[in-house]
Amino acid sequence: MNIADSETIDPVLQEAVRRVRLIAFDFDGVFTDNMVYVLQDGLEAVRCNRGDGIGLQKLKKLGIETVIISTESNPVVSARAAKLKIRCFQNCEDKRETLESLAQEMGISLAEIAFVGNDVNDQPCLNHVGLPIVVNDAHPDVVSIARYQTRNPGGYGAVREVCDIFEKILAK
C-alpha cells in the first residue's frame, strides 16, 4: 500500500506505526539505489541520499531507535552508519536472528519493530515484524509481504519518506 501522496493516512498503518519502537533497515537497495561502483583496486562505492540523515534525526527526536542490518560486510556500510550515528550489523547470514537478538536486548517484541527491505533476503524479517515496509523498486517476491511500499525507490529518499510518515503520525 502506498499512501505517501494522500492527505489521510490509513488508520491500520497509523496504529502499526504507533506501536513501533525500532526501525531496522536493510542497506543495499534501501539506503542505496542497489548499484555498486567497483574500482580497479576492488574497493566499492555506493550512492546514498543525504536527506535520509535528516529523516533519521527526526526519528531519534521521536524516541524511535534505528539500526542497519546488512547481509554484506563492507566498510562503506559502516562508514555511512557512523556518519548517520546509527547502529550497524553486517555480515548477517540470518537477519531475523539479529533482529530477534536486538528485540531481546531492547525488551521489545517483533510486533514493535518495523523493517524496511527490498529483496528476498529480507523476507524472514518482513514476515515476522509488526510493520513490514518495502521500497518502491523492491523485488516482486517481497512486495506482497509489505504493509507499506514507499513512493520513492531505494537510494532516492525512500528512507526519508518512511521517517517523514512516522513523524506525521507520531507528531499528532
Whether 44 and 76 have beta carbons less than 8 Å apart is answered as yes
pLDDT at 103 over 80: yes
Whether 46 and 138 have beta carbons less than 8 Å apart is answered as no
- The pLDDT of residue 5 is 43
Query: 44-45 and 37-38: which strand pairing?
Result: antiparallel
As a dihedral over the C-alpha atoms of residue 97, residue 106, residue 165, residue 18, rounded to 10 degrees, the angle is 110
Looking at the chain, the whole-number percentage of residues with pLDDT higher than 70 is 96
pLDDT at 8 over 80: no
- Domain 11-170 classified CATH 2.30.30.100? no
pLDDT at 4 over 90: no
Specify the pTM: 0.94
For the chain, the structural domain boundaries read: 11-170
Which amino acid makes up residue 133?
I
Which amino acid makes up residue 107?
G
The band of 9, judged by pLDDT with boundaries at 50, 70 and 90, is confident
Residues 44-100: pLDDT tens digits?
999 999 999 999 999 999 999 999 999 988 899 999 999 999 999 999 999 999 999
Q: What is the mean pLDDT of residues 4-24?
A: 84
The band of 171, judged by pLDDT with boundaries at 50, 70 and 90, is confident
Neighbours of 43 (CB within 10 A): 11
The band of 7, judged by pLDDT with boundaries at 50, 70 and 90, is low
Round the average pLDDT of the chain to a whole number and report it: 94
